[in-house]
C-alpha cells in the first residue's frame, strides 16, 4: 500500500435519478471501499442515494461525507488540493499517478462525469487523466485509478468505527462471518 497522508474525495457529475441510480451508488461504494472520505454529486438531488451510502459508512466504518452540490464549478474552485478529472481524453493515468506521488500530503479530488462533461471541467482540472483508451464506466475508472495510486491492499483495510467486518475464508458465503468491533 502506498503511503498517502492527503485525503481523497470524489465528485460525480450530473447524476440522473431515473438513469444513474446504480452507477452513482457504485461510484460511491468503490470510493468508500478505497478509503475516500467524501462523495459529492451534482445533478438530481437523490436522498435515497445519500441515505444508502451513509448507511454503508455507518455499518462498515470510516469517514465518508455524502453531499449534493448545486455547482460543480464552485465545488472544484473551493477544493483545497489537486483536482484530477478521469476521462478518456487525457494523459495516461500512470503518468498522473507518478506526479501525484510527489505530493503525498495533498488532498485529491477525483471527478467522474455524467452524460456530457462541460469544457469548464477540463479547464479547472489540474490533470485530465485517461484510464485506458476505450469506453468504460466511471466505476471502473475510479477502481483502477485508486488501486494504482494506493495499492490493491487498500481494499483489505479495517475502517475505524465499523460495526461489521468480514472474516476472510475460502468457502464463499458459508464462511462469511460478521465480527463486532471487539473482535
Is residue 146 within 8 Å of residue 28, measured between CB atoms?
Answer: no
Give me the residues of the chain with pLDDT under 70, please: 1-3, 171-183
pLDDT, residue 177, reads: 47
Name the phi and psi angles at 102, rounded to 5. Answer: -80, -10
Q: For residue 126, give the DSSP letter.
A: S
pLDDT, residue 179, reads: 52
Per domain, the residue ranges of the chain are 8-156
pLDDT, residue 175, reads: 36
pTM metric for this prediction: 0.90
CA atoms within 13 A on the CB side of 64: 28
pLDDT, residue 180, reads: 52
Q: pLDDT of 69-99, one tens digit each?
A: 999 999 999 999 999 999 988 999 999 999 9
- Specify whether domain 8-156 bears CATH 3.30.1490.20: no
pLDDT, residue 75, reads: 98
CA angle 86, 92, 93 (to 5 degrees): 55
Amino acid at each position: 500500500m502506498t503511503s498517502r497522508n492527503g485525503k481523497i474525495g470524489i465528485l460525480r457529475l450530473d447524476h440522473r435519478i431515473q438513469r444513474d441510480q446504480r452507477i452513482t451508488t457504485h461510484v460511491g461504494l468503490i470510493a468508500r471501499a478505497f478509503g475516500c472520505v467524501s462523495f459529492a454529486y451534482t445533478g438530481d438531488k437523490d436522498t435515497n442515494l445519500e441515505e444508502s451510502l451513509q448507511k454503508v459508512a455507518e455499518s462498515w466504518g470510516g469517514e465518508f461525507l455524502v453531499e449534493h452540490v448545486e455547482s460543480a464549478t464552485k465545488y472544484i474552485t473551493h477544493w483545497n488540493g489537486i483536482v484530477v478529472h478521469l476521462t478518456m481524453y487525457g494523459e495516461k493515468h500512470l503518468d498522473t499517478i507518478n506526479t501525484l506521488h510527489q505530493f503525498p500530503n495533498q488532498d485529491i479530488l477525483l471527478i467522474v462525469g455524467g452524460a456530457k462533461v462541460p469544457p469548464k471541467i477540463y479547464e479547472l482540472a489540474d490533470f485530465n487523466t485517461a484510464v485506458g483508451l476505450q469506453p468504460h464506466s466511471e466505476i471502473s475508472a475510479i477502481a483502477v485509478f485508486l488501486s494504482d495510486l494506493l495499492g490493491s491492499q487498500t481494499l483489505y483495510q479495517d475502517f475505524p468505527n465499523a460495526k461489521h467486518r468480514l472474516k476472510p475464508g475460502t468457502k464463499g458465503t458459508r464462511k462469511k462471518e460478521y465480527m463486532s468491533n471487539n473482535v
